[in-house]
Copies of this chain bind each other. A is one copy, B any other.
Amino acid sequence: MTVRIENVGRAVRETEYAVRGPIVNRAQELERQGREIIYCNIGNPQSLGQRPLTWVRQALALAEYPALLESAPGAFPADVAEVAREMLRGTHGHGLGVYTDSKGLHFVRQAVADFIRRRDGVAADPEAIFLTDGASKAAQGVLHLLVSGPRDGVLIPTPQYPLYSATLTLLGAARLPYQLDEGAQWKLTRQELEATLARARAGGITPRAVVVINPGNPTGAVLGEAEVEMVLEVARANDLAVLADEVYQENVYRPGERFVSFASALARRRLDDVSLFSFHSTSKGLLGECGHRGGYVECRNVPPEVMQEFVKLQSVALCANTVGQLVTYLMVTPPRPGGPSHARWEAERREVFQSLARRAELVERGLADVPGIQCNPVAGAMYAFPRITLPPGMSDEAWCLQLLEETGICVVPGTGFGQAPGTWHFRTTILPPVDRLEQVVRRIGEFHRRVGAR
């Protein structure tokens, strides 16, 4: 054959993405053989029964086929018809079939800017907002701008979401892992960031940026105001861009915790020279619209000539999909209070939120009693990342594979996210419906009592 594996580049071959790695492939194989599998490997809420918000889907149906506004007027509440008309006007009447600006539709970017202003009390510029096919593409695009070879490095947390390690490997840049403190509920410390920077420099690497995931994936931790500000100060002192992965900003369950955006902290501390890229997504939060691939990045303190390069990168594949752009619009544009859709929208959101909060607690408590498993609070996001004690010679990968074979539960080994040497973990989502999740937690407990160590 005229294509051979040995000609595929090393960067591609060395890239790993555990959330869809070998354990998941094995799960799919078992499923094809007729085994029932419970997928806890990926944050894909609607695949496990979460219902989409009616507000979003009604508006999309009308935007796809606007003739319904005439032919089935009774089938939609008046405010849905109104928002659909608004969205169609926003496409200059062309509808969803057209390429948009490389940055995305202007009215959506304006709505995102308004959302940021409402959330943070800080002005935002629609021209500094890029709509992307999910936040993953946004993060990949930004990293592409910031690194250009093996001497450029980016700080990423350990444990981290493997999008970051995979993208840096693909780009041939250096990964600079900083360790979150598991003993202190995955705390992020200045000392650890600075030690990581020093190690990098000693190795001849120029640190270019720091990635922070808040709320944390896979940790479930939520950063406090002081931690967010500390990261920005370290970034300023060390000439780093900040990549703030804030896709779980609506997923904070624990009373007393709240989401603090990097944009708000930047403004509060008047750090006008720290370049910030913050990511948001339609896939998480209370929408769970993963398949629609909607997301954005907001750039702050980024020179226009760098943003121009980003526009060019985006333009090569033309634009993000229009439906995902509209889902982003609908995420930041709720029905008006008093309108016909508002009560339903609120009730559906409340149900999703309360159910997620209940499941976060269920996982945290259910695993707390198992000898050999230690689980930090699931304060936010959609995952638990429990530490497991294993008998000598057993790896987390072997543990996950055996769990899958014996119970049909598919989780991802800690290796895929990074973990302190000598420790083992797994990541599970909190997403199966309550009754199944109870089963998952019970079976994991039984399994670990059998095969684990104390």
Contacts and interface: CB of A to CB of B under 8 A. Distances in A.
A292 B273 contact: no
A319 B293 CA distance: 8
Given A57-B64, A241-B2, A306-B4, A144 B12 contact: yes
Contacts of A320: 293
A189 interface: no
Contacts of A223: none
Interface string A1-15: 111110111111101
A62 interface: yes
Contacts of A301: 1-3
B148 A97 contact: no
A434 interface: no
Interface stretch (A113-121, A134-142, A346-354): A134-142
A42 B102 CA distance: 13
Interface in A39-66: 42, 44-47, 52, 54, 57-58, 60-62, 64-65
Contacts of A183: none
Interface residues of A, number: 97
A239 interface: yes
A324 interface: yes
Contacts of A44: 98-99
A8 B292 contact: no
A74 B241 CA distance: 55
Interface stretch (A162-170, A358-366, A368-376, A415-423): A162-170
A143 to B, nearest CB: 11
A68 B75 contact: yes
Contacts of A275: 1-3
A20 interface: yes
A316 interface: yes
A111 interface: no
Contacts of A19: 315
Contacts of A99: 42, 44, 47, 283, 290-291
Interface string A60-81: 1110110110011011000000
B316 A293 contact: no
B292 A134 contact: no
Interface string A88-102: 000010111111101
A303 B57 contact: no
Contacts of A167: 316
A306 B61 contact: no
Given A99-B44, A322-B292, A3 B306 contact: yes
A11 B148 contact: yes
B65 A57 contact: yes
Interface string A305-339: 11001001101111111111000000000000000
Contact of A60 (B65, B137, B208): B65
A274 interface: yes
B97 A8 contact: no
A11 to B, nearest CB: 7
A147 interface: yes
A177 to B, nearest CB: 18
A7 B323 contact: no
A240 interface: yes
A139 to B, nearest CB: 9
Contacts of A146: 3, 7-8
B3 A317 contact: no
16 contacts: A2-B235, A3-B241, A5-B309, A17-B312, A20-B318, A46-B94, A52-B97, A97-B292, A98-B290, A133-B321, A163-B317, A170-B313, A291-B319, A291-B321, A293-B319, A293-B320
The 9 closest A-B pairs by CB, nearest first: A9-B148, A291-B322, A3-B275, A46-B97, A61-B65, A293-B321, A72-B72, A72-B75, A20-B315
Given A1-B274, A2-B235, A15-B316, 11 more contacts: A4-B306, A7-B208, A8-B306, A15-B312, A17-B312, A17-B316, A19-B315, A47-B94, A61-B62, A95-B291, A321-B321
